A and B are shown apart, each in its own frame.
Chain A
Amino acid sequence: MSETTVAISEREQFIATKGRRKNSLKCDADSIAGCVSQRACVYCGARVVLNPVTDAIHLVHGPVGCASYTWDIRGSLSSGSELYRNSFCTDLREQDIIFGGEKKLAKTIDELVAKHPAKLMFVYSTCIVGVIGDDLAAVCKAAALRNNLEVIPVESSGFIGNKSAGYRAACEALLKLIAPVDRAQAAASRTINYLGDFNLAGEAWIIRDYLAQMGVQINTVFTGDSTSATLKGAANASLNIVQCAGSMNYLAAQLQELYGIPYMQVSFLGIEDTAKSLRSIAAAMGGGAIRAKAEVLIRRETDRVLPYINKFREKFIGKKAAVYVGGGFKAISLIKQFREIGIEVVMIGTQTGRREEYDTIHELVAEGTVILDDANPAELERFMTSQGAHLLVGGVKERPLAYKLGLAFIDHNHDRKHPLSGYDGAVNFAQEVYSTLCSPVWKYTAGKGGG
């Protein structure tokens, strides 16, 4: 039960119910003031995409808070440098706002480079940098020459859009880093770039291992466990595969245009999508022996994990899920992954989903499912309750809301400590659903989570 929720009329266009009328969901718009949006900012979008570059100095040009809130925010793992796990900041103060922050930025860069040997630095702009008009590009260029390293400005002032604009800013920064190559050479390399995996809990390593078993080498990952050197050579790949579309589709499209590298969408969430993606990659890489190896891998892994998943599946009969995640592609994968374990999604929303993704979501979900863009806690509460959801998938901010409503909860956030990709990930997912949906704790509540 919950209190009556007063809806905000401007929000109605961002909410749809499948089957009720022809769906035309509004999306990719600015959040409405006072709506307690779950979205973060442009800077955040850029930071989460670039931060996994392990041997780079990530310098926030702005006030302390922006650096503080994002210190080690991603659970990205590294096989080498740990430099990326620091939070460097120009710590702009009142005087800098009045007189400009360029000198402080130049000085900070010099000091950092002297202390931390690195080949690459990203300098992120924050809200006030955009307002006071520091010439980020010029300072970075001069500092690069002075210190003999690459200093790449990331134009991520918070107010210039939402998180998607930050993804774009990150991609622009990465494009500046990538060294041009001869197109023919790239096509002949027979390696791939894996875009949109940030190596949370080792996920990029899992996928790299699958591809290695198929005889396919990864050139670089964007950006999980990547280095300045591997990213620089990104144009040497013959194919780009994209997991997180929201953050990386733009980069993939640009790489196709600039270097003729074709790209394809993949998803390694759930056994169905994982198998489909491995087959598509094999086909794109020439089929034949690669395809045969892929089939061996798929068969072996499916046989290994299916008994676990089926066992969990039996426990989930009649359960309904609500999903509220960052990007549209993850939302789509989750609908399918829930089906694999016998759970229907009854409410689904994203922070930054795009038109075509919402169209796909609309096709996939059952009649009566509520679809919403840029939702707020009041709406999440209202629809989870009215749709009879037993569990919610979301991030840190949504977790306490689910628990207070007596619902189970699945973390799909940056700092989870278990992988959700590939076959191990599929088992982890089912197990996590089990651990929360079937917890004895719901015996003592109003009985919604355990149902």
Chain B
Amino acid sequence: MENPCHMCMPMGGILALKGIEKSMVIVHGSQGCSTYMRRHIAEHFNEPVDVGSSSLNEKGTVYGGAANLRTALDNIRRVYQPKLVGVVTTCLAETIGEDVARIVKEYRQDNGIDMPIVAASTPGYGGSHNEGYWLTVRRIVETLATTTERHNKVNVIIPSMSPADIRELKRFLAAMGLDYTLCPDISDTMDQPYLPVYSKVPAGGTPVADLCRMSGAPATIELGVTIDGGVSPGKYLEDTFGVPLYRVPIPIGIENTDAFMAALESISGKKRPAAIELERGRLLDAMIDSHKYNFAGRAAIFGDPELVYAVTQACLENGIRPIVVTGDKNGNLSRLLPDNEMTSETIVLSDPDFNLVQERAGTGAANIAIGHSDGRFLTERDGIPLVRLGFPIHDRVGGQRLLSVGYTGTALFLDRITNTLLEDKYRDYRKNMFNKYFQQPKNERQRKGVAAL
């Protein structure tokens, strides 16, 4: 593999667990794993991100790491006093065959603690951070949701998204008069305000009590159409507790946002308020304003499959041709993407490395890239400008503040794309026109002159 397109499973596990109220994460493995992931997360969100490690050394690797994990749990509880601890595993822990679920169960029994501990088996060689994310969300729900009486909080299963995007979803839910449980919710935990008093465990996140009661929800909206039923938290809630499931894409693009709003209308039994209808109108206005510019767009889109799916849809409805779409391993993306005449050139790459993306972007004459920071190499090496979106964004500030969902978010996202295309067009416009129409006729005159002689 040349230049990876994704990260490893425990990374996704950490991201998911950071959205639970007063939670802490322990990465069961050697020290470096947690440090690398903390560094990436800290750079993207510009937030402190404390993640424990069981700091497995040679002894633990040979004789088993249970003692290390228990010490880690003791120390994390002592310093952070969390309401929930998540334990994700690494290559090392999985290879030596650590039964984390059992260790955790015994630890809770031995110490007589009520605090939930979510164990997720996330070997680094087992899949990408995206798979680790979904698996961990599923484990959170499986571990906590128990039979409960019916209530009116709608479950919303959140894929990896920016805090700003999650806040926008909350605004929609509130506008529709719906009470909700977002799972997980990093909108506050990974985008904390500056406050006079620093808190090691940031405020916010999904309350543990709410997670326990997801089983009694009137419905689940899962922003995940690319994942299989076996890892879908919404499917689990439907199968186990009979909670009706609405699976909709991330609401980027007008159709995806319409689908999200339709789900909210269906669940609440209410029509959307006029203010949101106006937002939709403004998005349409923005789409019309920029449609001719966007028609020049040939986009290489990469990142988490769920995001890639939504972005590709948004590109298609704006006349931007997706040339390279990359993301999932399970092939769901290629099945889901519409058979649109503009997609005739679309290549969906499953499980690629970045070199393959670069190669296809080149042969497809992509002129814009949409995705995380590693796409900077497309700019650096091939001059393809990058619109940063998704995770990780580590070479710019504000990854946590990027707003791209909903009607307003889509308009902002679209503007970022259009303006990037315009900037690219104008950059060499004078030179290009000069070379094409001034130099060339001159050369022709010269040629004619030669012929006349």
Contact = CB atoms under 8 A, between A and B. Distances in A.
Interface of A: 1-3, 5-6, 8, 30-44, 62-71, 86-94, 96-97, 108, 112, 126-128, 130-132, 158-163, 376-378, 381, 395-397, 399-401, 403-406, 445-446
A41 B30 contact: yes
A2 B4 CA distance: 40
B53 A159 contact: no
A144 to B, nearest CB: 20
With a 10 A CB-CB cut-off, give which of A6, A91, A404 has the most chain B CB atoms: A404
Nearest to A447: B196
Interface in B39-82: 39-40, 42-43, 45-58, 60-61, 68-69, 71-76, 78-81
B415 to A, nearest CB: 28
A134 to B, nearest CB: 12
B69 A33 contact: yes
A68 B4 contact: yes
A233 to B, nearest CB: 30
A68 B8 contact: yes
A428 B199 CA distance: 33
Contacts of B52: 33-36
In the A-B complex, the 6 residue pairs with the closest CB atoms? A41-B32, A65-B8, A34-B75, A34-B72, A33-B72, A69-B36
B61 A44 contact: no
A87 B95 CA distance: 24
A399 to B, nearest CB: 7
Contacts of B58: 159-161
Nearest to A448: B196
Contacts of A93: 125-126
Given A41-B32, A396-B39, A127 B90 contact: yes
Contacts of A8: 75, 78-79
B158 interface: no
B198 A36 contact: no
B124 interface: yes
B374 A43 contact: no
A30 B57 contact: yes
Contacts of B49: 397, 400
B3 A128 contact: no
A112 B3 CA distance: 12
Interface of B: 1-4, 6-11, 26, 29-40, 42-43, 45-58, 60-61, 68-69, 71-76, 78-81, 90-92, 95-96, 123-126, 128-129, 192, 194, 196-200, 353, 374
Contact of A89 (B1, B11, B29, B55): B1
A317 to B, nearest CB: 26
Contacts of B129: 65
Given A34-B54, A35-B55, A94 B1 contact: no
A88 B2 contact: yes
A161 B59 CA distance: 11
Nearest to B47: A400
Contacts of B8: 63-66, 68
A97 B81 CA distance: 37
B354 to A, nearest CB: 8
Given A1-B196, A37-B53, A94-B125, A68 B7 contact: yes
20 contacts: A6-B79, A33-B54, A34-B76, A34-B79, A36-B51, A40-B36, A44-B35, A63-B123, A64-B7, A65-B124, A71-B3, A87-B2, A91-B4, A97-B91, A131-B61, A161-B58, A163-B32, A378-B80, A397-B38, A400-B49
B186 to A, nearest CB: 14
Contacts of B9: 65
B92 A127 contact: yes
Contacts of B81: 6
Nearest to B129: A65
Contacts of B198: 1-3, 381, 404-405
A381 B197 CA distance: 12
Contact of B7 (A2, A69, A376, A397): A69
Nearest to A414: B39
A163 B91 CA distance: 18
A400 B2 contact: no
B197 A3 contact: yes
Contact of B55 (A30, A64, A69): A30
A34 B197 contact: no
Contact of B196 (A68, A94, A96, A446): A446
Nearest to B81: A6
Contacts of B200: 3, 5, 377-378, 381
A69 B46 contact: no
Contact of A33 (B6, B10, B75, B196): B75
Given A71-B374, A378-B79, A97 B95 contact: yes
A403 B26 CA distance: 24
Nearest to A7: B79
Nearest to A35: B75
B126 to A, nearest CB: 6
A91 B57 CA distance: 23
Given A91-B353, A92-B125, A132-B95, 12 more contacts: A34-B71, A35-B52, A36-B79, A38-B35, A69-B7, A69-B39, A71-B374, A127-B91, A381-B200, A397-B49, A399-B42, A400-B46
B49 to A, nearest CB: 8
A62 B91 contact: yes
B117 to A, nearest CB: 13
Contact of A445 (B6, B42, B194): B194
Contacts of A67: 1, 4
Contacts of B33: 41, 65, 158
A40 B35 contact: yes
Nearest to A67: B4
B79 A87 contact: no
Contact of A400 (B42, B90, B124): B42
Contacts of A86: 2-3
B11 A65 contact: yes
B390 to A, nearest CB: 14
Given A2-B198, A399-B42, A34 B26 contact: yes
A43 B33 CA distance: 10
A127 B6 CA distance: 19
A3 B199 contact: yes
A161 B26 CA distance: 19
A396 B43 CA distance: 7
B128 A397 contact: no
B196 to A, nearest CB: 5
Contacts of A445: 194
A70 B36 CA distance: 8
Contacts of A92: 125
B56 A159 contact: yes
A65 B7 CA distance: 5
**Most A Cβ at <10 Å: residue of B32, B34, B60, B200:** B32
Contact of A131 (B55, B69, B95): B95
Contacts of B32: 39-44, 158, 163
Contacts of A159: 29-30, 56-58, 60-61, 92
Contacts of A64: 1, 4, 6-8, 124-125, 128
Given A88-B2, A159-B60, A41 B74 contact: no
A41 B31 contact: yes
A377 B36 contact: no
A418 to B, nearest CB: 15
Nearest to B126: A94
Contact of B192 (A70, A381, A404): A404
B196 A128 contact: no
A158 B92 contact: yes
B223 to A, nearest CB: 25
B91 A31 contact: no
Nearest to B90: A127
Nearest to A128: B91
Given A30-B57, A44-B35, A127 B29 contact: yes
A92 to B, nearest CB: 5
